Structure 1
């Protein structure tokens, strides 16, 4: 029997947007999937970046330098992070951003390995743009598209966003496999409602796939479209619905 497929849904928060300007990772949140089921084996750390957080970034995630003052540095958690990630497939929203920051942190900590060398990487932004061309590909937009409750996401948070992305990813790739998320002990507090949301259970019970049937006006438009194609092809249309056959 083959071993379970292991995927890690990963997200980070940072001091700013540009890794080339010396910005650092301040939060890592990971959720583990084994054969498309969420396990209790999360990985989550806040990190002291040893630099100021940009005001714009703090408005997005609500994390302050004061809150991070007593947190470990990236080098302190790098060995356990690499052990946790090694050999898994990483699922990341806008992967280039998070991978770029984490690879730079690994370089600073003296590691020669990069994430692409030890993990497969799936970018859900690229996936969403292929699946829904011309539509918004933000995490909030995808939550709305797939009916996933993101009401706790007043601010960004790495573990909260990884949990939401796990639900989005399963919906995007077939909607199979229930998300049964464990209740966790309350974590460190930052005072923001988004971080309070990290302590809440996001649970979806196992259920059959939803069947969404076309509405009457959609069926009419579909039949009119087929009739037009049939006419232009000189009656050679192979796919005719019951009403036209």
Structure 2
């Protein structure tokens, strides 16, 4: 597991995003899509992986309006637990990035003792490094940094709120800021409050 004193340029990174079914009052939300962009270092090209995830309840209309995933699209999707080997191989031993990753951390708690992290929050990182934006949504941050065209080029035909698209966007935000601020030779702790356990 990476530590605060480890040099950023020597670390593995993985960015993750989930899309969910949405939750009616009193229900627990469930993931319906996962996307991970992982690499051996920030200078390497990320390996991209995504999967739909089976759910035992219908995708809410309101959630489908955000990400475009319908219950019918999940008909042949694997159950979440079946994806564990793929998730572990991509996130294990990496700094795990996400944009306000509370949902990602919540869904990964279904695998107790996984030990992923430390976590790097691109929302906090964006606020630290790019002050004055009108908002800090992932799309606004990527547009401000000029990385949106790179996400489009690597994932043509996908868009915001696709789990793989959002994961890749988070990865590219981290890579861009580390390069621009010349942080690859610095310890991970230099990212301060953006890094958590």
Note whether the superposition's TM-score is higher than 0.5. yes
CA distance 1:134–1:156, change in 2 (3 Å)? same
Give the match for residue 143 of structure 1.
142
Please state if 1:24 is matched with 2:30.
yes
- Report deviation, 1:173: 2.3
Higher RCO (Cα < 8 Å, 6 or more apart): 2
Judge conservation of contact 2:43–2:175 (CA < 8 Å) in 1.
Answer: no
- In angstroms, what is the RMSD of aligned CA positions? 2.8
Question: Paired residue for 1:120?
Answer: 118
TM-superposed deviation, 1:23: 1.0
d(CA) in 1 for partners of 2:180 and 2:19?
Answer: 27
List per-residue Cα deviations over 1:65-123 (Å, max 9, x = no partner).
101011100011113312331111101111112111221xx2xxxx4314xx3321100
Match runs of 1:190-229 below 5 Å: none
Larger radius of gyration: 1
Q: Secondary structure at the match of 1:11?
A: strand
Deviation beyond 6 Å, 4+ runs, structure 1: 17-20
Instruction: Please state how far the C-alpha of 1:140 moved relative to its aligned partner.
Output: 1.0
Secondary structure of 1:26 counterpart: strand
SS at match of 2:172: helix
Unpaired runs of at least 5, structure 2: 1-6, 183-197
TM-score (norm 2): 0.74
Residue in 2 aligned with 1:173? 178
Are the aligned partners of 1:92 and 1:122 in contact in 2 as well (CA < 8 Å)? Answer: yes
Cα distance between partner residues in 2 of 1:19 and 1:175: 44
Cα distance in 2 between the residues matched to 1:94 and 1:176? 21
TM-score by length of 1: 0.60
CA distance in 2 between partners of 1:4 and 1:138 (Å): 29
Q: Which runs of 5+ in 1 are unaligned?
A: 178-245
Number of aligned positions between the proteins: 168
| 1:96 aligned residue | 102
Distance in structure 2 (CA, Å) of the matches to 1:7 and 1:19? 36
